[in-house]
Structure 1
Amino acid sequence: MTDLLIVAGAGAHGDPWHVLDDTAAALAEVLRPLGEVRVVSTGELAGLPASPAPDLVVCDISGPPEGTGGGDPVLERLLAWHAGGAPVLAVHSAVLAFRDDDRWFALLGARWREGVSGHPPLGPADVRSTGDSAAGIRLAGFRTIDERYSDLELADADGDRVVLAEHVEQGRQHPLIWWRAAGGAPVAVSLLGHDARAYASADYADALRRLAAGLLRG
């Protein structure tokens, strides 16, 4: 049975704005058709064996504005699993996690910059397809209720990033969903998923399952 592990942020890997227990549970329901789904908090991660790695690691985590400092054991475990060949799907506030560690930035290809990044008020969101494809995945545009992160710090030299969906804010295009080759195993990032309502969108749920299935195919 395919092993999908959802890591839900807690404590230093949460924040005041997201109820990650709720979104992780909603995400589990979305991904359950693809295999056996487990949800663990970041506080429980150290109790899991380091090997074998899950077939897919899904990161529904965050972090406080001041960062978490270096040497975070949660980050070390996630990076080790990826380096060992486990693909990673990172959603929404994962770009707020480990912002003071360039290795997470390099893995995802983006991070939140305090005082620069932002989003319009949570509400109707038009998600536009770029028409590009990666790993045989091309996403259609759709409409949902969510936050639309904007003005993230992007790894500009990242030639591996294929943006699959975007939104327009203040006349400028901002990436929302992308795919990266990322060395040891592929990585997909979706900036959507602020609360459980986002995962109730059939279109968004379908997009996530297609991303996850593509990651599992490698």
Structure 2
Amino acid sequence: MTDAATTTATGRPLAVVVLVGEAEHGDPWHALDQTGRRAAEVIADELGQAVSVRLARTSDDAETLLDGADVAVLDVSGDLAEPETDSSALVDALSAHLSAGRGLLALHSSAIAFRDDPRWAALLGGRWVPGVTMHPQIGHALVQTSGVVGAPPESDFVLYDERYTHLETDEGVEVLAFHTEDGIAHPLVWRAEAPGRGRVAYDALGHGVESFDSAKHRALLAALVRWVAS
């Protein structure tokens, strides 16, 4: 798996859509409007004129919300205390996006989202498992690199964030970063590619806007966008 240039084959800027969860695709614990906006700002700042970034919301028309997007960045969630809702239209849109060879990057609580539709976990390469997955108290966290040659992050770093623990991951994903809890390594960042579809990456960091105060996390986010864009 190699990295990629940022602009498209035609030389135009990459079109990035940051999809922010609302209502049933949010939860009481994550300020997705704030973190989604901050992620969009980071991508624009880190990649500059090589990208154009716009925000979309899960309440937008699912059939058109990813129109023209080279990369979809998801900052969505779901409330495990509430009944499941029909997410099929949104997952249809994401599936079509990937089938067209375009990239997808999901952030933090997106591993909880769309739990009524098993296609989402299959696309993402993992999921939050109710009753199993958890996180220690939020605080300063050591993110450890897996040391994949040519892949981010290049070195370990510390930031203020949650550390998702006991996430379920598919065998086919390539883990790029992890944290250690009770002597066990828990994946935090992974990527995956499969024939006939676009690339996918997941970054479990980003609980709050302060996560993006870390220069290493900002660089990681930009690198993942570049990778899924190829």
Q: TM-score, normalised by structure 1?
A: 0.91
Q: CA deviation at 1:108?
A: 1.0
Structure 1 counterpart of 2:161: 146
Distance of aligned partners of 1:104 and 1:182 in 2 relative to their CA distance in 1, 3 Å threshold: farther
SS of 1:6's equivalent in the other structure is strand
RMSD of aligned C-alpha atoms? 1.7
Range 13-22 or range 41-50, more displaced: 41-50
From 16, 24, 41, give the equivalent of 1:12: 24
Write out aligned runs for 1:26-175 (5 A). 26-32=38-44, 33=48, 34-46=50-62, 48=64, 51-52=67-68, 54-65=69-80, 66=82, 68-70=84-86, 72-133=88-149, 136-139=150-153, 140-155=155-170, 158-159=171-172, 161-175=173-187
Q: Deviations over 1:151-183 (max 9, x none)?
A: 11222xx32x11111000111100011110144
State the Cα distance separating 1:86 from its structure 2 match.
1.3
Corresponding residue SS for 2:53: strand
How many angstroms apart in 2 are the aligned matches of 1:128 and 1:213? 21
Unpaired segments of 5 or more residues in structure 2?
Answer: 1-12
Structure 1 spans left out of the alignment, 5+ residues: none
* Other-structure match for 2:201: 188
Measure, in 2, the Cα distance between the counterparts of 1:36 and 1:96.
28
Task: Give the deviation of 1:49 after TM superposition.
Answer: 5.9
- How far apart, in 2, do the equivalents of 1:88 and 1:153 lie? 19
Deviation of the 1:213 alpha carbon: 1.1
Tell me the CA shift for residue 83 of structure 1: 1.3
Tell me how many residue pairs correspond in the alignment.
211
Change (3 A) 1:209 1:85: same
| Equivalent position SS for 1:46 | coil
Flag the 1:47–1:115 CA change in 2: closer, same or farther, 3 A: same
Which residue of the partner structure matches residue 200 of structure 1?
Answer: 213
Q: 2-side partners of 1:167 and 1:97: how far apart?
A: 22
Per-residue CA distance 1:94-148 (angstroms, 9 max, x = gap): 0000123221111111111111110001100000011114xx4241211000000
Q: 1:199 to 1:38 in 2, by over 3 A?
A: same
